[in-house]
Amino acid sequence: MGWKEIYTNWKQSPTLDADVKADLEALGDDEAALEDAFYQAIDFGTAGMRGLMGAGINRMNIYTVRLATEGLARLMEAYGQEAMDRGVAIAYDGRHHSLEFALESAKVLGKHGIPTYVFEGVRPTPELSFAVRELKTYTGIMITASHNTKEYNGYKVYGEDGGQMTPEDASALTNHIKDVDPLTIEVEDLSQLKASGLYHAIGKDVDDKYLAQVKEVTIDEDIIKEMKDDVTIVYTPLQGTGQLLAEQAFDQAGFNQVVYIDEQREPNADFSTLKSPNPEEASAFEYAMKYGKEHDADVLIATDPDADRMGAGVKMPDGEYRILTGNQIGALLTQYILTARKGTNDLPENGVIVKSIVSSELPAVIAKHFNMGTVNTLTGFKFIAEQIKQYEQTGAHTFLFGFEESYGFLIKPFVRDKDAIQTAMLFAELAAYYKKQGKTPYDGLQEIFSAYGHYAEKTISVKLSGQEGAAKITEIMNNLRDNQPETIADVPVEAVEDYQAGVRHVKNGETETLNIEKANVLKYYLADQTWIAVRPSGTEPKIKFYIGTVAEDKAGAQAQLAKYEAFVMKFAN
């Protein structure tokens, strides 16, 4: 069926939701906009789906949410009555339509006789992961678009281990609904679900259990007790979900000098104080920097709208604040975790950190210094969660820390996704550790560079929207595979890893099999220890280029980055 026919069916539907109908009418006769909204079903990948809100099968609306949930319900039915009886935990952020999408999910599941456990108010993504494990539900649904701008929303599904849905289950879910018209999916009345006991509201009971686990993230309580009145922290949830849990977590950890940003404490679907609610961007720290200077804060901490990613700013010698990269935060946390656990005689012989293949190599070098291992996974925290599950089953390793360069970190595996609440607590402890020595986390980072080399990384995201953008991304990846360079910026390419083919090509023409799941990623290793990776984003219409390099000093590393960025941008234009 072509997009025009699908559009006509929606336009002529007598039962079309009023809000969706208004969105459809707002598109008018703009054929390009209509085609983009209807030319394909919104992609449901292993991270769920995320997209612009509005009318159409390629948008986030109650019908696409119902469709995804219908697939989940049918998947659970295929797994049997035990799976259905255990039910589904559901959480949502403060975006437009998030509560509505959460309730629509519950109404679809209820129609299949599947119980739901829905948070009574907005909650972070990591707490949803925790709730699945704590309540022993079979799956979980998180309604969020993470750090995207206000026009977006999303839908993520979690497995019974609290990790994001496996690729196999995601594929099975989509197969269950490949021929289903989203306009025809039946839902149960919410009042009926409550009366029949298929809808359960959850809140403080789960909060308290989650916070009890967060308390265990602290490694050295004595440092916090000694420095609790001396280290000053500015925290902002960026008008998202983090304030409730972060504030309680700071209190129970013992930090007495935490400053909260009045203008950003409460969830706001329009993110009215922000250009972008993304802690990867320095602009997100505008208010935090202002409060930091007013209160002479040691560190600034920001969690993104669903509080799974954490960014941080550190005080510089001149009193200004520098926003750290995700890789720099990862290096600081790795150094601190291993140093502190060694100091408390709690460093296991088989300990490992787990990171994504596009993240910095510096934490791996630090881990090696402590005789700890490093395991690399594909991008996506579900792959880190899979490693943790494997270690629990085999005992082969003890998980110490997981991270991705995109500001995702996990300290303790009672959550199986990145967790900014945990990370904020440990970063505050890290700040206390350095302040006790008369230093700042920035000083600590310079010490790391002095000891291991000056590592520098850069991520370049190129937005390519719509059908033309998707075709351009495919063309770039195909061209790179068909024309593998022997040199990049006049530096020899020593090896190329093609994760889609599952093969590593080395300079002498030999190939090796990659023992990792397949994905559309290419990674180049150069003779000067630089690496470059390229991959389409799994959640946004972007292609991403990653560069990692090392030099003797900052100037050398920055010069390396600039040289390779110029090469990368040739492919992006």
Q: What is the 3-state secondary structure (H, E, C) of 37-85?
A: HHCCCCCCECCEEEEEECCCCCCECHHHHHHHHHHHHHHHHHHCHHHHH
User: Residue 175 CB: number of other CB atoms within 10 A?
Assistant: 12
Q: What is the pLDDT of residue 572?
A: 64
Output phi, psi for 89, to 5 deg. Answer: -90, 140
Please say whether the beta carbons of 66 and 106 come within 8 A: no
Cα–Cα distance between 329 and 432 in angstroms, integer?
15
Q: How many helices (H) and strands (E) does the chain have?
A: 20, 23
| Amino acid (1-letter code) at residue 303 | T
78: Cβ contacts below 8 Å, ≥ 6 apart: 172, 176
* Cβ atoms within 10 Å, residue 307: 31
- Show contacts of 502-510: CB within 8 Å, 24+ apart: none
Tokens of 350: 């088989």
The closest of 421, 350, 384 to 126, measured between CA atoms, is 421
Q: Which two tokens stand for residue 398?
A: 């003890």
**CB 538, CB 443: distance < 8 Å:** no
Q: CB under 8 Å to 265, separation ≥6 — which residues? A: 237, 243
Distance, CA of 375 to CA of 395 (rounded, Å): 15
pLDDT for residue 539: 67
Residue 317, classed as helix, strand or coil, is coil
Among this protein's residues, is 146 annotated catalytic? Answer: yes
Token pair for residue 329? 């935060």
What are 377's two structure tokens? 């996974």
Q: How far apart, in whole angstroms, are the C-alpha atoms of residue 300 and residue 288?
A: 6
Helix intervals (H) in 266-347? 286-295, 326-343
Cα 526 to Cα 349: distance, rounded to the nearest angstrom:
32
Q: Using an 8 Å Cβ cutoff, are 533 and 521 in contact?
A: yes
**Pairwise CA distance, residues 147 & 280, whole Å:** 9
Q: How many residues does the chain have?
A: 573
Look at residues 568, 541, 519 and name the one whose alpha carbon lies nearest to residue 379.
Answer: 519
- Closest C-alpha to 34, from 466, 470, 472, 469: 466
Distance CA 471, CA 488 (A): 25
The token pair at 191 is 């009042």
What is the pTM (predicted TM-score) of this model? 0.95
Q: What is the DSSP letter of 517?
A: -
Instruction: Report helix, strand or coil for 155.
Output: strand
Place of tokens 């100037």: 555
> CA-CA distance, 138 to 447, in Å (whole number)?
46
**Catalytic member of 146, 356, 359, 406:** 146
- Note the pLDDT of residue 135: 98
> Residue 153: which of 247, 36, 61 has the closest Cα?
61
Q: What is the pLDDT along the chain (573 residues), one digit of tens a residue?
A: 899 999 999 999 999 999 999 999 999 999 999 999 999 999 887 778 999 999 999 999 999 999 999 999 999 999 999 999 999 999 999 999 999 999 999 999 999 999 999 999 999 999 999 999 999 999 999 999 999 999 999 999 999 999 999 888 999 999 999 889 999 999 999 999 999 999 999 999 999 999 999 999 999 999 999 999 999 999 999 999 999 999 999 999 999 999 999 999 999 999 999 999 999 999 999 999 999 999 999 999 999 999 999 999 999 999 999 999 999 999 999 999 999 999 999 999 999 999 999 999 999 999 999 999 999 999 989 999 999 999 999 999 999 999 999 999 999 999 999 999 999 999 999 999 999 999 999 999 999 999 999 999 999 988 887 778 888 889 899 999 998 888 999 999 999 999 999 999 987 778 999 988 889 999 999 999 999 999 998 767 789 999 999 999 999 999 999 999 988 887 666
pLDDT at 573: 65
Closest by Cα among 439, 351, 440 to 401: 351
